[in-house]
Amino acid sequence: MKKRSWLIVMVVFLMAFSAACSNSSSNNTNAKGDAGAASGGTDTAADNGAANAPASGKPFDWQQFSGQEIEVLLNQHPYAEAIIKRLPEFEKLSGIKVKYSITPEENYFDKLTTALNARNGKPDVYMTGSYQLWEYAPADYVQELDSFLNDPGKTSPDYDVEDIYKGILDGDRWDLVPGNPVGTGNLWALPLGFEANVLLYNKRALEQAGVAPPATFDELIETATKLNGWNGEGSYGISARGTRSWATIHPGYMTAFSLNGAKDFAVEDGKLVSRLDSPESIEVTNKFAELIKKAGPKDWTNYTWYQVSTDIGAGKAAMAFDADIFAIFQGREGASKEAGNIGIAPPPVFKEGQQPGANEWIWSIAMNKSSEKKDAAWLFMQYFTGKEHTLWAALNASVVNPIRDSVWKNDEFVAYITQFDGYAATFDKIIDNTSIKFTPQPEFFNTTTEWSAALQDIVTGKSDTESRMKQLAKDINERVSRIRTE
């Protein structure tokens, strides 16, 4: 009996020892995992899988649609070039083959509209501006994305949509009700990059005149007038777009328009009503026309984004009221004659102490509602708007401005952007008030083209501001009279 009892005791001891060793091993593994997560470490493939695992505990499957082929239509732009450079990495990660075509912007939207109108599922993914979504989404050319974004089986847990600036992501969200603002309803596209419209200036020009970047619109008119001829014959105070196009309204003019408290439309009795004849609208239009008359280029009515960008880079224009990214494209080393001399400042406000902000342009990618390969298309879209690609593209390509807060806080990107005077400070000051300032409605391109024609008439002296803006409001009300907002 004594021998048998001794054996039982030994068995119990060994079982307890074995269990203790097992628990110790488990605890050590957890400690290592916690330390790795805290330090951002990803030492092994298993660690990577765990870090990217959804709530189910399984790693996100980038290969779930391997073998499929999608078609992508791209506008000729630095954002598209960044995508093309990284296609091999995406194809290796996902096993999805990407067939793409790239078209110059002059013909891009005509080609895209024709393709979407065919409703044959091609292309699966396409580049678009936010304004175009106001036509494409009601026409069923665009797939809503919330159902993909909120599906953990389709969206990698490290995508982190909250990292995208709200004012930018909201520019691609709308409820399809004309007159309702962006930021409501479904998400129709994912942003690739954006432009905020600010004041660009030549540092030499302002130093030569002994002036600081103007903070108010009245100061802008005074400073720009003073800088006429600053760099010899043909040089002038300020550049801005002036062709008969929607693209003339949306950069500097619309930024100033919104800062003066003006609105393009209101909703009354279920109808859109133009507010271009309001006192605020007439006031800002009159001041903008005064600015161009006194200090703008002589052939202003022919000025597109290209002329504005070129003139600030060539030392012809002392200032420009347009996209902030011109300061990088023209200001980086070797890019232009005035490289290193271009700074940016917040848009001039209309009242002292006013919070500056800007109207924005957003290049995005959208999914064709008719696509037969939507799941594969979604993997493409999240990869090229995700954290890793956005950071790579900001550092190694020309994807400015990046859409993600994490990139703007990245040490390497911060070091890069500080070489452009005022860029980071201006971004920080205006980002919370930077958004699409237009009212979404399907006649956007027609109404803004009429608006630009009226602005031309005012600047060139064919009409006075008040009577022309009142006539414009009347014409636009007639154009939008069939649009219901209910």
Give the Cβ contact number of residue 38 at 10 Å.
8
Residue whose C-alpha is closest to residue 392's, from 77, 3, 85, 121: 85
What CA–CA distance (Å, rounded) separates 42 from 35?
10
The encoded tokens of residue 153 equal 């089986």
Strand ranges (DSSP E) for 269-354? 271-274, 317-323, 342-345
What CA–CA distance (Å, rounded) separates 348 from 356?
7
User: Looking at residue 43, what DSSP letter applies?
Assistant: -
Residues in the chain: 486
Average pLDDT over residues 202-211: 97
Q: Does 265 have pLDDT greater than 50?
A: yes
Q: Does 55 have pLDDT greater than 90?
A: no
Give the Cβ contact number of residue 105 at 10 Å.
11
Give the Cβ contact number of residue 5 at 10 Å.
9
Evaluate the omega torsion of the peptide bond into residue 120 and state whether it is cis, within 30 degrees of 0.
no
- The residues facing 230 across adjacent strands are 232
What CA–CA distance (Å, rounded) separates 55 from 91?
26
The encoded tokens of residue 370 equal 């008719």
Model pLDDT, residue 285: 98
What CA–CA distance (Å, rounded) separates 37 from 41?
6
Residue whose C-alpha is closest to residue 93's, from 126, 70, 66, 58: 66
Model pLDDT, residue 352: 87
What CA–CA distance (Å, rounded) separates 312 from 315?
6
Model pLDDT, residue 314: 98
- The residues facing 142 across adjacent strands are 368
Model pLDDT, residue 34: 27
Residue 468 CA to its chain's centroid (Å): 33
Model pLDDT, residue 486: 78
What CA–CA distance (Å, rounded) separates 347 from 216?
8
Residue 356 corresponds to which amino acid? P
Strand ranges (DSSP E) for 52-189? 69-75, 97-103, 125-129, 173-174, 186-187
Q: How confident is the model at residue 57 (pLDDT cuts 50, 70, 90)?
A: low
- Residue 432, CA distances (Å) to 136, 170, 419, 429 in order: 28, 12, 23, 8
Model pLDDT, residue 297: 98
Q: Does 322 have pLDDT greater than 60?
A: yes
Q: What is the mean pLDDT of the chain?
A: 90
Q: At what angle do helices 465-479 and 279-295 cross, to 10 degrees?
A: 120
Average pLDDT over residues 39-57: 36
Model pLDDT, residue 12: 35
Q: Does 41 have pLDDT greater than 50?
A: no
- pTM of the predicted model, to two decimals? 0.87
The encoded tokens of residue 290 equal 């005064």
What CA–CA distance (Å, rounded) separates 388 from 420?
24
What CA–CA distance (Å, rounded) separates 161 from 346?
27
Share of the chain above pLDDT 70, in %: 88
Give the strand pairing for 190-202 and 358-367: antiparallel
Q: What digits encode the pLDDT tens for the residues 417-442? A: 999 999 999 999 999 999 999 999 99
